[in-house]
Structure 1
Amino acid sequence: MTHGGRPAPPRLTYERLLRHLDDQVASILPNQIVDPDHPEHGGFVSAQEGMAGMGQIGCAQSLGTAWLLEGSRYHGDPALLDRLERSAAFCRAIRRPSGRYDLATTNWDCGPYTAFMVQAIAPVVAAARNSDQEGSDRVGEVYGEIIRTAVPGMATGGFHTPNHRWVLTSALSQALTLYPDLDVASVIESYLAETIDINPDGEYTERSTAVYNAICNRSLRLTAEHFDRPDLLDAVRLNLDAAYRLLHADGSVVTSLSNRQDHGQQIIPVSMVDSYYALARVDGNGFYAAVADWLGSHQRAAVPWSLEPYLSHPEWRIDDLDREPLPPTYTHHMPASGVWRSRQHDTSATAATGISTPFSVKHGDIEVGVKICATYFGRAQFRADRLEETEKGISLTFDGAGGWRDAPGYYHPVGRPVTMDEYAYVMRERDYTAYDRLSMTLDIGQVPGGFDLRLCTSEPFNNIPLEILFAFSPGGTLHTDSLVADGEAGHTAFLRSGTATYHQGADAILVGPGAHAHRMRQMRNSEPEPNAFRLLTMLRLPVDHTFHIRTGTWSEATEAIQIDGGDNA
């Protein structure tokens, strides 16, 4: 079977995940404070914090999972049991009177952080209760006490962000399974009554493809299981389906859409493995299983969470589910999200509304983002307002509106004293002379080997400078007919005419033709790109400019790109 046109990755197996877990536990143990006279005795010290801060239960989750699972080299290890008890004692010592815990990097006496902790350790407690291994009663007791004591604080502590709601429903539902006498069902129902924040395209509110999508999916599937709400799995399926269409050929995911800290990062979303695999087994879905195999072939497969399905469902440790091949080529329109995706084997492209990189292409190890900006009243950074499918591809439209005034212009005096404190408020009273907005369209057509793009602008005034910026991932080499330059982060080059090819190893992307109507290296109101190699094409309004992006293989022998599906450039 092939995977995205390549040989399929090895199956995600219980035994392989155990090896990753054992390696993880071996790396965790030296970081636990074992001196009984130390004030943080039993805590785990992280390299990032230099203190026994966040991550305590995550470490205990790894240790507890390894201690319980047959096949781990730590299975039933008395020394590991002692470490688990020390960790539990530290967690009891640092909790607040509310039963809640501090997220020392930002949030104190925090119900949602406590819910993350309960969510992680509850499967260990449940498995310990079902184990006849000596010491398992003790594991269930000491960590069960942490869960039970945390419940009132979680139920009354509130939340900050959209995903916190589902983490809380998950943790409270898991606690209710362990302790049926808890009076928290009404709290869970109150959160779930808000309905799940997912659009028809499968995007959650935070659009966090590399971090919080996984958290939402995990939380909803655990709530579905423990609170008898199988309907919640519909949202999980919707997101899992969408998530595959946002993956590049190397397994990394589109993060330019995210509203959270993963924005713009290059990340392989291995934290999605547990939900892909769990839904694969629940639904008998070979596609989900194949995605879990693929993501699970990276970065230790995100243990211990990737082992939670096997810990909670021992029968799944024997896996005879047939895998489905993953499609290597597709186009996918997400109209509710304003997103369009295309993948052709090792090349993928993303177009989107609402972001300052309206189009980007990733080919192998190279990524290039296309950004457009003009010097027009600070209102001409192209962020598409609409995305529409066309016969050849898509069309992005930028209306040029912005601010509380829809059009740019100038304010007039009010003829009375205006204090410093009043200035901002009085602006709304002033007469206003409005000018035409600068609107733009970017038509993108998919052609063999790449894309043709046509940029057209309105003309509120002539001679307005405009730039097309190709923001390349750094580390490659730029070639033109007369120039070879290193593509270093923060450096800038101008494409005055003709084409340029940027390559890293054998991966190559060609862009052009260029133009040279001005030379504003750092154009005012244009977003900086300090982490990219900048290649600029300079125009002045009115603009009707067609340019090309082609992908292919670099030849050092010919110093040229072999375009995918085409001839030499």
Structure 2
Amino acid sequence: MNRREFVNKSVVLCCAAPIVNISGIIPTRVEKMPPWLLELIKNNDKGITHLRTLQVKDAKSPDFGGVMDGFDILNPHNTAAVIQWGSCSLSSPSSQFYQSAELLNDMNLAALYLVKTQHSDGTIDLLSTNFHSTPDTGFIVKRLVMAYVLIEKSKTKGQENLLSNLKTFLLRAGDALSVGGIHTPNHRWVVSAALAKLYTLWPDPKYAARAEQWLGEHIDLDSDGQFNEKSTYIYSALSDRLLITIAKGFNKPALLDAVRRNLDMTMYYVHPNGEIVTDASGRQDKALIGTLENYYYPYRYLALLDANGSYSAMCALIEQTAGPKIGGFLDYFLADPSLWANLPPAKSLPVAYVKSFPNSELVRIRRNQWDSTLIAKNPVWLTFMKGNAVLQGVRFASSFFGKGQFQADTITKTERGWELTQKLDGPYFQPYPVDKISSDGDWEKMPKTNRPQSEVQILETKILIHEAKEGIEIEITTSGTERVPVAWEFVFRPGGVLNGASKIENTKDSWLLKEGNGTYTLGENTITFGPGAALHKNISLRGSLPAMEAPTVYITGFTPFRHVITLS
């Protein structure tokens, strides 16, 4: 489905669906589903069909009803997905599995497997890392409560057994969520959101009391509008969804202010091709290529709640760049028909700006179809994108005492642009103080911190960055110790074509830009970079990071090094 079709379908007015549904209660009258939602249901049918092929159907097997992952490991998450995805199909009149007795049976087998493998304390395991895990139980519970509501709504003949088994699992899990601990900041909101969902069905006071304990720690949002983990692809969007769930379930609309602040910030973390900036993340999505589908529900929910045209525009952008992927949140859309309503008229999104995010040590520059990100505390200190042509990392290293990989502590604003600096020292050490020498001659008992230093070498690197015509100008200058080999590294995303650089022999995808400009082209987009210089071919300097698995162009030299290049 192309962008125009998706956008046109997404603005179909759905009968009398209310614009705001803060309680999350499904209206008794089923409204007509808009075409974009019907398309997601069709895709969900394909997903549940495949997932059911991974379910153990041998009644004699101890794993009967469980679902395997791609490594053939039975796990509660895939098993719960049969219920989650199945409930979407079971309750949707347009689905090929609407009120399907066969699907209902498979979902019940999955529920029985979950009950059987649930620990006595109510928790489940995340077999890749966490065991007896309250947070991972919360992840499942939040979605299974929505599944419970959708199954009930479906009025499928014989659904009572499934609902009973599902209730058993959920109430046991509720006991765990009411007392269990967490690992990471977002886990507090995972647990609280799961408790909020349980509370809407079974309003046990202990659910609200435990959520209040976690909420009492306050929301981990900095002045930039970013959550503690700075995980823009995964956990920031997750926290947005969780806080909406908590706000609805426990009637705490003030929590939505944190969501708004994060969504406002995220509008400045968008690359021209619709990807999201992930370079400052503190989690597993750091520098990952990711689109914005995880934010679609929060943007749509608050676009409707606040009549916010900027959020509508973000929804349109996500539909254009990641449309099918929002199907991962189909249960959210089916459980709340208020989301089927017309979005308010879209406003223009920011596409030309310079914006600093001090808490993330990051600066964003965007000029319509090109953008650049400057990052401190990171060996990749600059990225540059022009449409779909991506320079995914710029690095600099020297072979200075095995510790010459450049990484700046801060980004400093200058009159013309920004400055990143690094100062390194390389000392030599004198004989150990006589009165402290270890009698057994053990080197480890004579730490270097106690030895006088001499012949201390210093290498200071300064990088100046400022905007140039249609791009960025970067100047690197070193001072201090001379004749130190250096290598300036430009890492491009695989898939494009390099011109102007020379392949380095005996390497997979490493190139030298000896002189003049080079180009990297992907489709209709071209990045021009240079001029080059190549005084040596040593690109694996001692102490530098290993080469990335991507086409990489090097400019090389020796200290004192001064070189200016332009990216455009």
TM-score (norm 1): 0.86
Paired with 2:166 and 2:442, the residues of 1 have a C-alpha distance of 55
Q: Determine if the alignment matches structure 1 residue 452 to structure 2 residue 473.
A: yes
Could you say if the C-alpha distance between residues 159 and 490 of structure 1 is closer, same or farther in structure 2, counting changes exceeding 3 Å?
farther
Aligned residue in 2 for 1:509:
527
Q: Could you tell me which amino acid in structure 2 is paired with residue 543 of structure 1?
A: F
Deviations 1:38-67 (A, max 9, x none): 221212222244434532212311111221
Q: Determine if the alignment matches structure 1 residue 334 to structure 2 residue 357.
A: yes
> 1:196-275 alignment to 2 at 5 Å?
196-275=219-298
Q: Is the 8 A contact 1:101 1:114 kept in 2?
A: yes
Paired with 1:375 and 1:486, the residues of 2 have a C-alpha distance of 19
Could you say if the C-alpha distance between residues 506 and 316 of structure 1 is closer, same or farther in structure 2, counting changes exceeding 3 Å?
closer
Q: Could you tell me which amino acid in structure 2 is paired with residue 373 of structure 1?
A: A
Equivalent residue in structure 2 for 1:470, among 474, 485, 490: 490
Paired with 2:567 and 2:365, the residues of 1 have a C-alpha distance of 14
Q: Is the 8 A contact 2:438 2:445 kept in 1?
A: no
Aligned residue in 2 for 1:499:
517
Q: Determine if the alignment matches structure 1 residue 387 to structure 2 residue 387.
A: no
**Aligned-partner SS, 2:519:** strand
Paired with 1:239 and 1:545, the residues of 2 have a C-alpha distance of 38
Paired with 2:332 and 2:541, the residues of 1 have a C-alpha distance of 52
Deviations 1:295-337 (A, max 9, x none): 2445664455432343332233233532334343333221222
Aligned residue in 2 for 1:154:
177
**Aligned-partner SS, 1:330:** strand
Paired with 2:565 and 2:171, the residues of 1 have a C-alpha distance of 62
> 1:81-480 alignment to 2 at 5 Å?
81-129=104-152, 134-135=157-158, 137-297=160-320, 301-302=324-325, 305-368=328-391, 369-392=393-416, 394-400=417-423, 407-412=425-430, 413-415=432-434, 416-417=437-438, 423=444, 426-433=447-454, 435=456, 437-457=458-478, 459-480=479-500
Q: Is the 8 A contact 2:504 2:511 kept in 1?
A: no
Could you say if the C-alpha distance between residues 161 and 49 of structure 1 is closer, same or farther in structure 2, counting changes exceeding 3 Å?
farther
Shift of 1:94: 0.9
Q: Could you tell me which amino acid in structure 1 is paired with residue 527 of structure 2?
A: I
Shift of 1:134: 4.4
Q: Is the 8 A contact 2:99 2:155 kept in 1?
A: no
Q: Is the 8 A contact 2:400 2:484 kept in 1?
A: yes
Could you say if the C-alpha distance between residues 486 and 501 of structure 1 is closer, same or farther in structure 2, counting changes exceeding 3 Å?
farther
Deviations 1:513-544 (A, max 9, x none): 12233332211112122312221111222233
Q: Is the 8 A contact 1:441 1:456 kept in 2?
A: yes
Q: Is the 8 A contact 1:202 1:235 kept in 2?
A: yes
Paired with 1:259 and 1:488, the residues of 2 have a C-alpha distance of 35
Q: Is the 8 A contact 1:353 1:396 kept in 2?
A: no
Paired with 1:281 and 1:355, the residues of 2 have a C-alpha distance of 38
What percent of counterpart residues are identical?
A: 26
Q: Is the 8 A contact 1:452 1:546 kept in 2?
A: yes
Could you say if the C-alpha distance between residues 330 and 183 of structure 1 is closer, same or farther in structure 2, counting changes exceeding 3 Å?
same
Aligned residue in 1 for 2:39:
16
Aligned residue in 1 for 2:22:
none
Could you say if the C-alpha distance between residues 42 and 275 of structure 1 is closer, same or farther in structure 2, counting changes exceeding 3 Å?
same
Could you say if the C-alpha distance between residues 49 and 86 of structure 1 is closer, same or farther in structure 2, counting changes exceeding 3 Å?
same
Paired with 2:505 and 2:237, the residues of 1 have a C-alpha distance of 34
**Aligned-partner SS, 1:245:** coil
**Aligned-partner SS, 1:508:** strand
Paired with 2:553 and 2:41, the residues of 1 have a C-alpha distance of 47
**Aligned-partner SS, 2:447:** helix
Paired with 2:364 and 2:453, the residues of 1 have a C-alpha distance of 41
**Aligned-partner SS, 1:59:** helix
Q: How many residues align?
A: 538
Could you say if the C-alpha distance between residues 488 and 197 of structure 1 is closer, same or farther in structure 2, counting changes exceeding 3 Å?
farther
Could you say if the C-alpha distance between residues 519 and 513 of structure 1 is closer, same or farther in structure 2, counting changes exceeding 3 Å?
same
Shift of 1:148: 0.8
Aligned residue in 2 for 1:554:
none
Q: Could you tell me which amino acid in structure 2 is paired with residue 475 of structure 1?
A: G
TM-score (norm 2): 0.86
Q: Could you tell me which amino acid in structure 2 is paired with residue 539 of structure 1?
A: G
Paired with 1:417 and 1:375, the residues of 2 have a C-alpha distance of 33
- The alignment yields a C-alpha RMSD, in angstroms, of 2.9
